[in-house]
Chains A and B, each alone.
Chain A
Amino acid sequence: MSMQAADTAPAPAAPARTGGAGRERLRLLLRSGTFLAGAAIVAFWVACALFGSDVVPQDPYAVDLMSKLQAPSPDHWFGTDRLGRDIFARVIVGARDILTIAPLATVLGTVLGTTLGLIMGYFRGFIDEAISRLIEAVLALPLVIVALLALVALGTSYITVILVIGLIFTPLIARTVRSAVLTERGLDYVAAARLRGENPFYIMFIEILPNVVPPILVESTVRLGYAIFTVATLSFIGFGIQPPSADWGLAISDSYGLINGGYWWTVLFDALAIASLVVGVNLVADGVQGVFET
């Protein structure tokens, strides 16, 4: 039925001023409650990462052994950790490292995956077969274990964490891009470009790429959620973000032994922070998906 409706839907007779598709999508996105809720959460944490250290009432790094492990109170809203540091301040500034590493890793994975996907989808045949088999092999390995092995081998640093997560995401994004490119490859505008003597790189990046942006955007927002979770996991097991950063995963790793002693506040707020950021990113991803995949 939707087909029929589309047939009779009015064609824009008078040319609008700008490319309609992008603007229309943005408008729909801004009307999506899911997207707006997610965006609000993410925006909050981004603001914390950028300006958090200027506004928090206490120094997040100040050690005060006299007041360690205090329960939440008007002085310390979220209590203090075992070094007496103010947990509220640490949660607020703790977004900084994870919000640097996870997006950079996602961007790396997206760029590499898109390039690979374009190559596979455009050239098809042997190249596609070979890379596809390789991707399947990589995807068969458990993500965190591979990351761990790589970090042990390469040594932990922000750069290696970004590289490792980015490379692990590459095949996933490549697979999505490939299938979108295969559809585009069959359209006549690609044949028309070949009949103009365009080289494969022009066809891949100038002709095809703009048309496969929607699935790439959807896939990379989904990936960002996973990236945040992976960085937090790696920090928790000691291979991600290193002390004295106020990172959430690190904080949980530092304090989870204390839960038994009734010091719940040392873990709860950091855990909630991670959860809210992941949920926020996933809500954004849902919103983007809803608008781009219809």
Chain B
Amino acid sequence: MTPTAPWQGEMASAPDALSIRDLDVAYRVRGKVRQVLRGLSFQVGRGESYGLVGESGCGKSTVALAIVRYLARNGRVRAGRILLDGRDLLALGEADLRKLRATAVSMVYQDPGRALNPSLRVGAQVAEVFRLQGMPQAEALDRAAAMLARVQIADPSSVMGRYPHQLSGGMQQRVAIAMALAINPKLLILDEPTTGLDATVEAEVLDLIARLRGEFATSILFISHNLAVIARMCDRVGVLYAGLLVEEGGTRELFDNPRHPYTVGLLRCLPRRGRRKDHGRLDTIPGLLPPPGADIAGCVFAERCAHADEYCRAVEPPLYDLGGRASRCHYHERAPDLPRATPSDPAAPIAVDREERPVLRTQRLAKTFAAGGHAVHALSAISLELWSGETLGLVGESGSGKTTLARLLLGLIEADGGSVIELDGGQLPAAIDRRTPDQVKALQIVFQNPDSALNRSHTVRHLIGRALAKLARVPAPQQLERLLAFTRAVRLADRYLAVRPRQLSGGLKQRVAIARAFAGEPRIVVCDEPTSALDVSVQAAILNLLADLQATRRVSYVFISHDLGTVRYISDRIAVLYLGRLMELGPAEQVFRGPHHPYTEALLSAVPSLDGSVTERIRLKGDIPSAIRPPSGCVFHTRCPRKLGSICEDQEPPLIEAEAGHAIRCHIQARDLQRERPAPMPAEAPAS
């Protein structure tokens, strides 16, 4: 402790683990100072877990970086104090700061692959933390092994000898957490720690953090855009909007009864409680986040708020104290009655006629990649049907073959011999180069990442216009008219036509990509995680758009997503993939209700729910096996919590109909698969 720490006297009783007061942070961008945090104040009590939520650009990560004083070179703390365990961080010199980082605070980042040093063995990296505390090498290694065991790494000694790239994402994040906790920090900052992970792995890591929190008595600052993750992990929550804390309160209270229109809006954007597209549109938050540094006279949210009036636009609301919680809204009492921004009336549902011929049919669709002399069985024997106007949801962890399936359908990669893809009953050549223009036109895609999918050198006009010219063969004179009709259909303002993608927000880019996919009046559009790169409020608008387009154009979707809430909202039927095999296929509601395949059951129970209802959790052991040597028999037997015995290892179970139209690939009888347990997402009639 330095004798100069000025706040020690003030904090006679045990100080908060973290106390931030009136923090102003600004970035200097092209000579202009842009304020990103404005008068931010909050406390994280001892042993408390505090969540910070908000959409991208709200300043969440800046808070984390400011606390450890790792702001980018153009960032500066302009005012305020950050007290860590009563010590003023901003007053520390370089040496004290280094000591503090080594002993009192640690941080876990979103991407563990980048946080770990790729050229050092895991053991050496974890031991380094102990070495820094002055331990001899041998002891440091022992402590590292013990630490890895505490983060539930089954075989620490073997993991310590490996390099980070030899570990799965979930394992890497465990190692990162082990390193963070090795110093027994007063404060652990978790910045989107599970965002890049699969649902089942995320659930495991969250369980681990919750358990370790008790063991280490560490205070946690948990930063995430995912409301459900925050709801599961935190005692109190702060909602950040445009660098301002707009609402704060106990987690349960805040999510059950939000008192700021932004929080209300965010919660309504999520497809929750088994809501489906034919129940009604999702609500959205109109408008955009103000750019950092914007000069706003009144309430920052006024422009996007249906409650806002002249008073809101003129007078900036203070953080009203509502007794144990706070809201930065003049009309916080009325916040829950916020009028909908998007009318709920559902698009007229399409009657899918399963008697007629399916639009798309695959039989024994398979793909084997050659990688370094090995055959990788990315997909085997997938037989599916897709009817006109229907949405088929594809669900599974990464490596399950979802994207491979999509690319095979589109012909971007060629299926193995013996695979059959039929379009309207006619056989479709495997490679796109051999498909007729009409066949090419019939199958289109909306990619996950619009930055990759839209050519950054071309204007929006060119991007959509070219698709119209090539796919719809619209002659030049009528092109502009059709173009405008299309941009209006995806609700893209005309003024964006002359603009290049990098000048558009994520949601607008995805609208351009959707317009392009629909230009040739396709029969089937593959949506490959179309909303996973987007913020919650934007995601809702895109899902509404997709549902509307489907209703008006009777297009079929193959909808890939790892977000089960989204898949349930948009899909009519769901296919569950694991290691390239179809494990379960059935109507969406039946797949969610059960009986489930044990893998589906695990996937469903991994989803953190917003209402905090604790369901029976089923956790999978280990990682997805390699597709080079998939397990014998049932590919899931290595991780299956309900494995019967040797039959699972020896025989691949057939896909058996558990009920009409609902098939499950499991040796367990369908009636035994139906377990008596509360459904993770209870079906419930929508309230609005």
Q: A residues near B, CB below 8 A?
A: 1-2, 4-5, 7-13, 15-17, 19-21, 187-189, 191-198, 207, 210-211
Contact = CB atoms under 8 A, between A and B. Distances in A.
A8 B495 contact: no
A190 to B, nearest CB: 9
B29 A7 contact: no
Contact of B59 (A5, A8, A196): A8
Given A1-B72, A21-B502, A196-B471, A211 B61 contact: no
Interface stretch (B335-343, B453-461, B534-542): B453-461
A21 B459 CA distance: 13
Interface stretch (B10-18, B131-139, B158-166, B439-447): B439-447
A210 B457 contact: yes
A227 to B, nearest CB: 28
A195 B412 contact: yes
Interface in B399-417: 407, 410, 412
B447 A192 contact: yes
A197 B495 contact: no
B29 A9 contact: yes
25 contacts: A1-B65, A1-B71, A5-B73, A7-B57, A9-B29, A12-B291, A15-B496, A15-B498, A16-B499, A19-B459, A19-B500, A20-B500, A187-B453, A188-B449, A188-B453, A189-B454, A191-B410, A192-B447, A192-B516, A194-B432, A195-B412, A195-B440, A207-B458, A211-B455, A211-B456
A87 B326 CA distance: 84
B74 A5 contact: yes
B34 interface: yes
A197 B470 contact: yes
Contacts of B350: none
Interface string B337-357: 000000000000000000000
B31 to A, nearest CB: 11
Interface string B484-516: 000000000001101110111100000000001
Interface in B281-314: 288, 290-293
B466 to A, nearest CB: 7
B445 A195 contact: yes
B29 A10 contact: yes
B499 A15 contact: yes
Given A9-B292, A195-B440, A210-B455, 13 more contacts: A1-B65, A4-B65, A5-B75, A15-B495, A15-B496, A17-B498, A21-B500, A187-B453, A191-B447, A192-B453, A194-B412, A195-B432, A196-B520
A55 to B, nearest CB: 41
A11 B292 CA distance: 8
B27 A187 contact: no
Closest 9 CB pairs of A and B: A5-B72, A210-B457, A188-B453, A15-B499, A189-B455, A188-B447, A188-B452, A10-B291, A187-B452
Given A11-B57, A11-B291, A198 B516 contact: no
A198 B462 CA distance: 14
B36 interface: yes
A5 to B, nearest CB: 3
